[in-house]
Structure 1
Amino acid sequence: MPDTMVIRAEALFASSLQHSACPADDLIRRAVAETLVRLGTAGCAASVAGEFGDHPEVAVSRMRWALATVRGVYALAA
């Protein structure tokens, strides 16, 4: 079973939020929750896989951002 942080990172990756916008923690949490409701865990994973297949050069940096962001945002909430 995937780790909760990985699921959240996939949802953030699949969301419309952009790193360049420097979103606040509450906006990140909301985007993760809304994306999980909209796509589900399988849909988020499929979105990530599709982007890695179509645009690997961009997907790598976006996933790094998503993982680091989720670790920071949700570690503060714990």
Structure 2
Amino acid sequence: MISIVKDLAAEALFVSSLQPSESPSRQAVEQAVTAMILLHGSDGCAAEVASEFGDHPEMAVRRMHWVHHELIGVVTPAVVN
């Protein structure tokens, strides 16, 4: 279940307008993810990602790498002792 949430968050951030050069805050990343899910839905985010990988694969790979870096800690559940 957690991997599904991480995948959806990654797709949503990928299709957002946030740019690596902005060095967005954690809050900005969370807001962008939420906004894109509400705007496009899960299927729409996935379709946009697929389109970008088809049209601009080299750029899409770099963006997805950035997306995964940004999501470290955002979608990871807290460990409770």
TM-score between the two structures when normalised by the length of structure 1: 0.89
Maintained 8 Å contact 1:6/1:67 = no
Correspondence for 1:40: 41
**Unaligned ranges ≥5, structure 1:** none
Matched pairs, number: 77
Answer yes or no: is 1:66 the counterpart of 2:67: yes
Correspondence for 2:58: 57
Q: Which structure dedicates a bigger proportion of its chain to helix? A: 1
CA RMSD between the two structures:
1.6
**Higher gyration radius (CA):** 2
Amino acid at match of 1:72: G
Identity %: 47
Structure 1 runs, 4 residues or longer, greater than 2 Å off: 71-75
TM-score between the two structures when normalised by the length of structure 2: 0.86
**Unaligned ranges ≥5, structure 2:** none
